[in-house]
A = this chain, B = another copy of it.
Amino acid sequence: MARTALTRSEVLDAAAALVRQHGPAALTMRKLAAELGTAVTSIYWHIGNRESLLDALVERTVLEMGAIAPRGTTPVDRVVSLARRLRRELRARPHLIAMVHERGLTERMFLPAQQALVREVHAAGLRGAAAADAVRAVQFQVVGFLLVERNRERAPAQSPGEGALWSAPPPARDVPRDAALARALARPVDPDRLFTTSVRALVSALLTPPAAVGDDRITPSGP
């Protein structure tokens, strides 16, 4: 009995520790109370129910996600560097990022990064709606890649995986027989490389003006 007064942030710290080590499922109110040396119900007084506890945890993570500075000289390089640093930051907090995602707050967490993107896209000469499109395309691309990547890491060995399927002869009739391609697809993905390649392709297509060599693109009209 008679421990020092329980504080909200103390509860959050303990909860964050539990989540960090064993994932959000391991965070039960009773375990948390035991960890803190209090009665379960004290937590309710300070934070409310489990849901708002998780919300508070997520809120914290979002705030910790500060602004990021780009590097490089060309606009494409700078945007790519932004994307890569974002990716590194997020990969350091897998569980909490997942919880941010589950709560639909991923976008908000990315707002500082969005502002940096706006700066670079503007510097590249894009204006108005076209600039906004470019910013959002990159943002979706980066966040999306991270989610896919997280997904893949959780299930490292799937069966049948790409490897098994592509080292055998292609099952569908009209899939071309390209040995080098099949070999490449049978190898595991190198996320670093794929990420950089993808972002660079997207960004250079978005930032370089169409150059108008007899191209058919005018304004995209809705389908």
Q: Which residues of A contact B (CB under 8 A)?
A: 67, 101, 103-108, 111, 114-115, 118-119, 122-123, 127-129, 131-133, 135-137, 140-141, 143-148, 151-155, 158, 160-162, 165, 170-172, 174-176, 178, 180-181, 184-185, 189, 192-194, 196-198, 200-202, 204-206, 213-214, 220, 222-223
> How long is the Cα–Cα vector from A136 to B174 in the complex, in angstroms?
19
- Asked if residues B161 and A108 are in contact (CB atoms below 8 Å), the reply is yes
- Asked if residues A144 and B152 are in contact (CB atoms below 8 Å), the reply is no
- Asked if residues B104 and A155 are in contact (CB atoms below 8 Å), the reply is yes
- Asked if residues A135 and B185 are in contact (CB atoms below 8 Å), the reply is yes
- Asked if residues B172 and A131 are in contact (CB atoms below 8 Å), the reply is no
Using known A-B contacts A118-B176, A158-B104, A192-B223, determine if residue A148 contacts B147 with beta carbons closer than 8 Å.
yes
A206: B residues at CB distance < 8 A: 201
> What's the minimum C-beta distance from A165 to chain B, rounded to whole angstroms?
6
- Asked if residues A197 and B137 are in contact (CB atoms below 8 Å), the reply is yes
A181: B residues at CB distance < 8 A: 118, 122, 127-129, 131-132
A205: B residues at CB distance < 8 A: 201-202, 204-205
Among residues of B, the one whose C-beta sits closest to the C-beta of A144 is B144
- Asked if residues A160 and B108 are in contact (CB atoms below 8 Å), the reply is yes
> What's the minimum C-beta distance from A71 to chain B, rounded to whole angstroms?
12
- Asked if residues A151 and B104 are in contact (CB atoms below 8 Å), the reply is yes
- Asked if residues A122 and B178 are in contact (CB atoms below 8 Å), the reply is yes
A175: B residues at CB distance < 8 A: 115, 118-119
Assuming A67-B172, A104-B155, A127-B178, what are 19 further A-B pairs, CB within 8 angstroms? A103-B155, A107-B158, A108-B158, A108-B161, A111-B162, A123-B176, A128-B181, A131-B178, A132-B184, A136-B185, A140-B145, A141-B141, A144-B144, A144-B145, A193-B220, A193-B222, A196-B220, A213-B213, A213-B214
